[in-house]
Structure 1
Amino acid sequence: MNRRLPMAAPGFMTLSCLFLFLAASVLIADKAACGRDALSISVGGLWDLSGDHRREGQAAYIAAKKAVECLNSQDGIDGRPLELVVADTRGEPGSLLLEAGKLVEQKKVVALLGPTSEALIPVLRNYAEAHNVPMMLTSGDDPLLPFKKNESVFWTFSISPGLGPAIKALFMEFARVGLEPVAPLVADNVKGRRASLWLQGYGPESHLRILPFQEFDPHDTDVVSQ
């Protein structure tokens, strides 16, 4: 019997976070939103719309666009419409920083969303913290910890619930629909081994039968043997 898991509404998580995040950002909008239209609140999106990660970038853009459209249909934030200003970062750190600077300095956005690739998170986090710009990460699942001791993260936020809670929610749904056994296929690296700990821990809690783990090299193009 084929079982279909219910799909979440497109952009739901982004929509929820935008609503909460921008409700706070509007407090600084009067000062920052002095660009093309002083009545609107401009938000910048930094995603790979071309290059190797263009599919993920385009998906993030569509989700954010739908979120903005939904909020604007409900009178925006405090009666002010939102405007999403997007730049193509092409998966390059240099392009990411260049476009971030343009959005903040020229387009006068009050907050930034992005990036597409988890590898670019440190670049964007550094920019946000150095320039005091609210930054909502739309990729990655690591906790927002300071890069150095005795430092704090003031300007960076994340829409990700973290790997542990995400796996727990997934296993709860598997248990609800009776989808088992679960055969984990994890990457042979630090992140994969960390994921395997969560998988092992939440299996018994969810009363799911977890099969032995199979590892693969992140650079493999064929995992048939696993």
Structure 2
Amino acid sequence: MTTTYNCTIDDERAQGLEHAQRAISEKKCVVLPTDTVYGIGADAFSPHAVTMLLVSKGRSRTMPPPVLIPRINALDGLATDVSAGARKLAEAFWPGGLTLILHAQPSLDWDLGETKGTVALRMPADEVALELLTLTGPLAVSSANRTGQAPAQTAAAAREQLADSVEVYLEGGPRPLEGDAGVPSTIVDATGPVLRVVRNGAVSLDRLREHVPGVLGLGEIPMAEEEPHADNTGAPDASVAGNPDAAPEN
């Protein structure tokens, strides 16, 4: 049965997290707050659960969801060939509004859609989200709305769009917090020899370049004569990374 929990009340928050953990283990979907907007989440390692997430949104496999993680040391368990540059950005901006597109660990048994061997990872800066992720492990999460509609900024708004396709709604109040602009995460493609922004968002290019000066901005093309930066090694991949329309929404 679909249930909403008010996570601003301690007892209800505990009940909601317990129910959400159970729902995830049963391959059902939940709605949770993040530091950007509300997300719809499912077990990242269950093809059935990810399919249910995509169906709930009215979204195809060509637009795979990103994966949210509870701690930075999960990075190496889910991705491979992580460059020094990508690692610097993760250390600087996680938890926070930065999504990194990386080569997925080939040994993992998951199916997020047509990713062409990549995975988009983020660690959100939201207490409720991190508590749930600690209980469940990595979750496939996309913005909590039907495709083409505005992303939900409360669980109540998400329920208006997603209804009974979601088992648990965790209400934590407005996301982002009232008075803050609803800016999505910045997405950086870290699968090639040079890091490059494929969607502008919460973390500006100037801030990224404070840590990795060679990051390319959206639409920028590297000069042919430039050698790849040693911090940004990795084979190019024609993937989600090169298609901002297929990128995660939150």
TM-score band by shorter chain is under 0.3
Instruction: Give TM-score scaled by structure 1 length.
Output: 0.27
More helix by share: 1
Q: For the pair shown, which has the larger CA radius of gyration, 1 or 2?
A: 1
Q: Give the structure, 1 or 2, with the largest relative contact order (CA under 8 Å, sep 6 or more).
A: 2
Instruction: Give TM-score scaled by structure 2 length.
Output: 0.26
More strand by share: 2
